[in-house]
Amino acid sequence: MGIGNWIKMTRLNSIHPIKAVVFDMDGTLCLPQPWMFPAMREAIGLHDKSVDILAYIDDMSTEEAKLEANRQLEEVEDRAMKQMEPQPGLVELLRFLTLNNMSKNICTRNVIKPVQYLISNFVPKEYSNFEYIVTRDFRPAKPNPDPLLHIAKQLKVHPNEIMMVGDSFDDMRSGRSAGCVTMLLNNHVNKYLLQDHQDLIDNSVDSLADIIGIITSANEN
């Protein structure tokens, strides 16, 4: 374990016990599909990578243009849904959370259809009870803290008792801004986050199953 990971582990172990987990979906509950976001930008004619996709659509001048852009996004998301594969350790972690009566939730910038597809195809029924599922219909979306603060309010828990698990800058920024514990799921395209945005990340893991021991340790302290 490197020094950076040791520091983050120490920070995590010193916080309040974790009562709820909020998962991102794309790249977190399912394997990342790096082609998807460039395809979305291409579909709606957004070539400036510094501009957020949802903000770009929100700023369109007519409702018709917004509807068409959202339709184009959903076509890309449907393609991605059909290629979806579950993240290793998914069932193991959901089993642990269920057996320990910990709240399971999802916060995604996707629409509900792929979320339902993932749950129905890759999550055993006995572990499939997600208390709150917040999609991009909730605005403002990640990286704003609002979706996570909404979930915390509904669950009647303090944000620092929630772990936000994700694989992107948006996930980590949203979690940090809301006051949640942030858990980065490492992959081959997000390594830069540990170097450039370490201040947003409490800990990082290579597999969802690794989170079991971290939560167990945090809740024992």
* Residues marked as catalytic: 24, 26
Tell me the DSSP string of 79-135.
Answer: HHHHT--BPTTHHHHHHHHHHTT-EEEEE-SS-HHHHHHHHHHHS-GGG---SEEE-
Rg of the chain's alpha carbons, rounded to an integer?
Answer: 17
Which residues pair with residue 86 across a beta bridge? 30
Cis peptide before 140 (omega within 30 of 0): yes
Q: What does residue 45 show for φ and ψ, rounded to 5 degrees?
A: 75, 30
The Cα–Cα gap between 116 and 30 comes to 12
The Cα–Cα gap between 145 and 141 comes to 8
